[in-house]
Structure 1
Amino acid sequence: MDTRRAGRLHVLTSGRKVRKAFARSTTALLSMVVLASCASGEPEAKIEHLCTVGAASEEEALLRGILRADGFETDVFHRTNRVVESLERDLRAIGSDKKTFSTSLCAYGPTPRAGVERARFEAGWVPRTSKDAEPSMADGGRFDANGAFGESNYFLTNLFVRCDMPGDLAEPSKAAWLYAEASYTVNIGRTDIDQAAKDRQTALTYLMARRVTDALGCENEPLAKPPVVKPLPAP
């Protein structure tokens, strides 16, 4: 989990209507930025983050199914520029054997709020030679999604993808995978998470990771195609 988390912007989604609610901070800096936007009457859509879920979008349909709810709240942990800055800095400093700390993006929870039930998304980098990119989940199933790969179980999805960065980040990006990590605490205690449910989780993780690759400007556009999830046999 990213210890550099700065603040949260809470957006309430009910049915197909999205409205700005309020900003709450844990550090003064980001709080001032977000609250200034809200106080000035800036529409939520213009506050630049990677978490907006459009009405009738594939993300909305997947979230409704995963959260088992008609409405959901959105917790925004970082604005887009903060995500990009963190990931670029981490790629410059990445070592040869350990993944970087993840940068938190968003979490979605059903309304009304129900304990720890969430779908939460983070991103980071992992060296291609690292064991952190190898299958390691208990009861996890491996998958391919248009060349992206990873594994998913009832609670977690890890997706790895090649992201060819421009400029001075071109060389380090050739030796690393961009990873997206999703946790689905909404599934804790459930026993009905079948392959179709895991595939929905993977598809949503893919779509959230696409937002990161677009923000970073990955020159190979690795997640441009619609998500097609193919479960793979155990090694």
Structure 2
Amino acid sequence: MKTAAVFAALALAAVGCTSDEPEPAPPVSQPCQTDPGTPEGKFVRQLLDADDYRTRVEKAPDDLADGLKEELKARAEPGRTEFRTPMCSFALNYPRGSGSDTLSVDFHWTSRESPKGTGRPADTHAFYNVNGHYGESDETLSVLHVECALPGKLGTLSQQNLLVASASNTSYVGTAVKQEVRDRQIHFLYLMARQATEALGCENEPLKKDPVVKGYKTPEEAAKATP
């Protein structure tokens, strides 16, 4: 009888302890996810030419959005210089790579009246229109211009500026021009930029659709193309 009473008391205590515990929080969405089964993961592995790499999250989604919004506000200041906000980077693990062998993604704003490309010679680049968004890419650097309509006080400023996504791949060691590498770069950049526009809360959901990449011979043709 005494043993039964002890077990009964322990059972009641266990019920009492667990009933007051809060429900577990839902999993937090992780930025810069490149799982093997995802398109992002496929492109990272192709661009790095490796399965073994490490991911560095430079800015979590909320921090990325806050930083970009503050930078957009600052663009109203006269003489404001361009400031890039890093999102994440992917680096080859030793012994394949050194600390400089990375695929990185960052963001900044540029004026819609005079948007800037990569600044590299036009004959070294491929030019794209991806679902209505202008892009450029060579084997190591790509940019994508995105119209992001923000709500509230930032609405006017977001209409005057474009969000620019940039990807840099310093791990590329090829010397020949490879169109498929350029195409992968712009595909990858679109998918990573989608994470940024979702974090920002762009009301027009500019990158909601899956990327349809169309290449053009000149930047003028790519800029004027319709999706």
| Residue number in structure 1 paired with 2:110 | 126
Select 1:137's aligned residue among 114, 120, 124. Answer: 120
Contact 2:117–2:136 at 8 Å: present in 1 too? no
Asked whether the equivalents of residues 99 and 124 of structure 1 are also in contact (C-alpha less than 8 Å), the reply is no
Q: CA deviation at 1:51?
A: 1.3
Cα deviation, 1:51-99, whole Å, max 9, x if unaligned, reads 1223300011111111111222101112222111110111112148876
Out of 120, 128, 133, the position equivalent to 1:148 is 133
- Residue aligning to 1:212: 196
Using the alignment, how far apart are the partners of 2:196 and 2:132 within structure 1? 16
**Which residue in 1 is equivalent to 2:88?**
106
Q: Which one of the candidate residues 176, 186, 203 is aligned to 2:187?
A: 203
SS of residue in 2 equivalent to 1:73: strand
Residues 191-235 of structure 1: CA distance to partner in whole angstroms, max 9, x if unpaired? Answer: 144111100011001100000000001111111111121111124
- In the alignment, what sits opposite 1:82? 63
Aligned partner of 2:13 in structure 1 is none
Q: How many residues in Structure 1 have an aligned counterpart in Structure 2?
A: 190
1:67/1:77 CA distance change after superposition, 3 Å: same
Residue 179 of structure 1 pairs with residue 196 of structure 2? no
Residues 76-85 or 152-161, more deviating: 76-85
Asked if 1:63 is matched to 2:44, the reply is: yes
CA RMSD of aligned residues (A): 2.3
Aligned residue in 2 for 1:191: 175
Question: Structure 1 pair 182/227, CA: closer, same or farther in 2 (3 Å)?
Answer: same
Report the alpha carbon displacement of residue 133 of structure 1 after superposing the two structures with TM.
2.2
Q: 1:101 to 1:110 in 2, by over 3 A?
A: same
**Which letter does structure 1 place at the counterpart of 2:88?**
C
Distance 1:165 1:99 in 2: 21
Partner SS for 1:133:
coil
- Structure 1 distance, partners of 2:183, 2:81, is 25
How far does the alpha carbon of each residue in 1:88-140 deviate from its partner, in whole angstroms, 9 at most, with x for none? 1111121488763110011012233501211100011111123x425632212
- List gaps (5 residues or longer) in structure 2: 1-26, 221-227
TM-score of the superposed pair, with normalisation by structure 2: 0.77
> Is the Cα contact below 8 Å between 2:117 and 2:143 reproduced in 1?
no
| C-alpha distance in structure 1 between counterparts of 2:135 and 2:79, whole Å | 18
- TM value normalised by structure 1: 0.74
**2:74–2:80: 8 Å Cα contact kept in structure 1?**
no
Q: Which runs of 4+ in 1 moved over 4 A?
A: 95-99
Q: Any conservation in 1 of the 2:84–2:107 contact (CA below 8 Å)?
A: yes
Larger helix percent: 2
Q: Which has the higher contact order (CA 8 A, sep 6+)?
A: 2
Q: Paired residue for 2:151?
A: 166
Q: Which has the higher strand share?
A: 1
Residues 1:93 and 2:78 are matched in the alignment = no
**Does structure 2 conserve the Cα–Cα contact (< 8 Å) formed by 1:210 and 1:223?**
yes
